[in-house]
Amino acid sequence: MPKTQSHLEAQLEALGFPFALPLEAPHYIDGAFVKSGTPFPIVYPATGEAIGQAYEGQAEEVDRAVQAAARAFRGWSRLAPSERRRYLRAFAAKVREYKPVFEVVESLDVGRPIRENRQGYVERMAHNLEFFADFAVTHGSEAYPMENGYWNVVQRFPVGVGALITPWNMPSMLATWKIGPTLAFGNTAVLKPAELTPLGAWLLARCAHEAGLPPGVFNVVQGFGPNSAGEYLTRHPEVRLISFTGETTTGKIILKNAADSLKRVSAELGGKAANIVFKSADLERAVAVTLRASFFNQGEVCLAGSRLLVERPIYQAFLEKLVAAVKALEPGDPLDEATTLGALIAEEHLQKVQGYIDWARAHAEVLTGGRQPELPPPFDRGYFLEPTVIAGVKPTDKVCQEEIFGPVVAVLPFDTEEEAIAIANGVPYGLNAVVQSRDVGQVLRVSSALEVGTVWVNDWFVRDLRVPFGGAKQSGLGREGGHYGYEFYYETKNVCIANV
């Protein structure tokens, strides 16, 4: 008897998705797709159903991928940057060709609404690859002539094999942020995506493969973190650099493991951003910015403005507008264009986020949300949570100190600039902040005083690839972006020439 088509299968067919369920997310090693290691399920967060399987890479798969990358490095590192650009442009063109597929895959992997994937997400992925390829071609180096006639010439050369370790919240975007500079600057790569989101990495490997990248230049090893692909990569003696994005605690473990073989590590870690709304802000815009900063990608964003600081004279009016806008968000089927809030990544994570809401119910006030929305089957088995606003908290409460990583924002009133700055800086993290104000002097004073890597003024999450990106304090080590990534992705050499 023919199998009846599931709700998801019917949706995928209607969307023109070219692959049939169950999906497979193999490794990509030395130019070939490899199914080896123990299979593990790929779970769709919106329904909790297994939609396919990936394979857990162990020491053997990691070693094969690293060896392939090391062999490929010999040729790739010697190519002219313009040659590497040709390959990366072909890679980016493939990403664009697969745009509708990536838009679906990101929803399947993460549970994010497809409408968010359609807002330039895939174009940004392609741009991430092209930007660094162009950068490597157009940027020169420095020379320092000395008074005694000697000349110093600063040269840069590729480092070697890079391990790119990414989290589950924006898997394909974050992978391309790392693949772009790694390959453009002449290194080769082994990508280890989060075990919860193996599909985007597999699709990126398909793009690299079809674009004709030489075997071994870009590899993917699927798997887990500790005692699995992630840890083996960070310990492998031939891996020379690790670009890691993930939790602060994981970053510290990776730094320790990398120390034995003195690898360089770039670490983009957790955050607890303050979104500071002053009374001089354009209120309508501030509400719209706050909605995005708090609930984009279900709030599962390291940059999320999860602490909302509002100047007291506008506190009530602002909250009324915000709560009305939050209530209008539509949780549900991520593949439905009308959905504005997706599912959280996993059951365990949903419980963790609910734990903070339980705390708020007992010790503070839940202004809206806080429960699992009632959704029709099959979404009643998904990991959904209503968008939640918490008030009546102190800056030192755990909901204001710890990264919740869900659709939960804690609101705090303040009276002075000094107070807002002290609250904003009063956390262990220092990734970013948002300042909403139309008073230029205030913007300058406040943004200068914030201990963070990025301040967005009257907006949130606008990324120019030329500028430095990274975190202060417990939010990271190093900066990536434009020439700020040189120290990490390149070796630097000084050639001192006598004038004879």
Of 271 and 342, the one with the shorter C-beta distance to ligand NDP is 271
Give the SS3 label for residue 497.
Answer: strand
- Of 424, 31, 25, 475, give the one whose Cα is nearest residue 216: 31
Q: Rounded to the nearest whole angstrom, what is the least distance from the CB of residue 203 to ligand NDP in the complex?
A: 17
Query: Which of 130, 195, 311, 397 lies at the binding interface for ligand NDP (CB under 6 A)?
Result: 195
Binding mask 233-272 for ligand NDP (x = CB under 6 A): -x----------xxx--x--xx-------------xxxx-
Q: Is 61 in the site for ligand NDP (CB under 6 A)?
A: no
Q: Is 166 in the site for ligand NDP (CB under 6 A)?
A: yes
> For 228, left (φ over 0), alpha (ψ -120 to 50), or beta?
beta
Query: Which of 45, 113, 186, 230 lies at the binding interface for ligand NDP (CB under 6 A)?
Result: 230
Enter the tokens of residue 441.
């002097």
Q: Is 224 in the site for ligand NDP (CB under 6 A)?
A: yes
Q: Rounded to the nearest whole angstrom, what is the least distance from the CB of residue 34 to ligand NDP in the complex?
A: 18
DSSP secondary structure letters along 287-323: HHHHHHHHHGGGG--TT---EEEEEGGGHHHHHHHHH
Q: Rounded to the nearest whole angstrom, what is the least distance from the CB of residue 138 to ligand NDP in the complex?
A: 26
Which residue's entry shows tokens 């010439």? 153
Query: Which of 158, 167, 186, 481 lies at the binding interface for ligand NDP (CB under 6 A)?
Result: 167
Which residue's entry shows tokens 């806008």? 325
**What are the residues facing 56 on neighbouring strands?**
38
Q: Is 407 in the site for ligand NDP (CB under 6 A)?
A: no
Which segment (141-149, 181-189, 228-236, 359-367) binds ligand NDP by CB under 6 A? 228-236
Q: Rounded to the nearest whole angstrom, what is the least distance from the CB of residue 193 to ligand NDP in the complex?
A: 6
Of 116 and 491, the one with the shorter C-beta distance to ligand NDP is 116
Q: Is 419 in the site for ligand NDP (CB under 6 A)?
A: no
Q: Is 307 in the site for ligand NDP (CB under 6 A)?
A: no
Of 18 and 428, the one with the shorter C-beta distance to ligand NDP is 428
Q: Is 171 in the site for ligand NDP (CB under 6 A)?
A: no
Q: Is 165 in the site for ligand NDP (CB under 6 A)?
A: yes
Q: Is 194 in the site for ligand NDP (CB under 6 A)?
A: yes
Of 80-109, which residues contact ligand NDP (CB under 6 A)? none
Determine the residue type at 17.
F
β-strands 188-192, 161-165: how paired?
parallel
- Of 480, 490, 468, give the one whose Cα is nearest residue 142: 490
- Of 366, 287, 273, 357, give the one whose Cα is nearest residue 329: 287
Q: Is the CB of residue 153 less than 8 Å from the CB of residue 141?
A: yes
> In this structure, what is the dihedral angle of CA atoms 80, 84, 90, 92, given to the nearest 10 degrees?
-140
**φ, ψ dihedrals at 266, nearest 5°:** -110, 125
Rg (the chain; Cα; Å): 23
Determine the residue type at 434.
V
Of 79 and 346, the one with the shorter C-beta distance to ligand NDP is 346
End-to-end Cα spacing for the chain? 87
Report the distance separating Cα 402 and Cα 356, nearest Å.
Answer: 10
Of 430-449, which residues contact ligand NDP (CB under 6 A)? 431
Q: Is 25 in the site for ligand NDP (CB under 6 A)?
A: no
Q: Rounded to the nearest whole angstrom, what is the least distance from the CB of residue 142 to ligand NDP in the complex?
A: 29
Q: Is 57 in the site for ligand NDP (CB under 6 A)?
A: no
Q: Is 305 in the site for ligand NDP (CB under 6 A)?
A: no
Query: Which of 131, 278, 405, 414 lies at the binding interface for ligand NDP (CB under 6 A)?
Result: 405
Which contacts (CB < 8 Å, 24+ apart) does range 329-332 have? 329/291, 329/295, 329/387, 331/373, 331/375, 331/384, 331/385, 331/386, 331/387, 332/373, 332/375, 332/379, 332/384
Name every residue whose Cβ is closer than 8 Å to that of residue 46 and which is 6 or more positions away in sequence. 107, 111, 333, 334, 335, 342, 343, 379, 382, 383, 384
Q: Rounded to the nearest whole angstrom, what is the least distance from the CB of residue 150 to ligand NDP in the complex?
A: 42
Q: Is 306 in the site for ligand NDP (CB under 6 A)?
A: no
CA of residue 112 relative to chain centroid, distance: 13
Q: Is 172 in the site for ligand NDP (CB under 6 A)?
A: no
Q: Rounded to the nearest whole angstrom, what is the least distance from the CB of residue 429 to ligand NDP in the complex?
A: 9
Q: Is 403 in the site for ligand NDP (CB under 6 A)?
A: yes
Q: Is 173 in the site for ligand NDP (CB under 6 A)?
A: no
Which segment (47-55, 186-194, 200-208, 324-332) binds ligand NDP by CB under 6 A? 186-194
Of 446-475, which residues contact ligand NDP (CB under 6 A)? 471
Catalytic residues: 268, 302
Report the distance separating Cα 37 and Cα 42, nearest Å.
Answer: 15
Q: Rounded to the nearest whole angstrom, what is the least distance from the CB of residue 346 to ligand NDP in the complex?
A: 10
Q: What is the DSSP letter of 484?
A: G
Query: Which of 168, 318, 356, 460 lies at the binding interface for ligand NDP (CB under 6 A)?
Result: 168
Residues within the interface to ligand NDP (CB under 6 A):
165-169, 192-196, 224-226, 230-231, 234, 245-247, 250, 253-254, 268-271, 302, 403, 405, 431, 471, 476
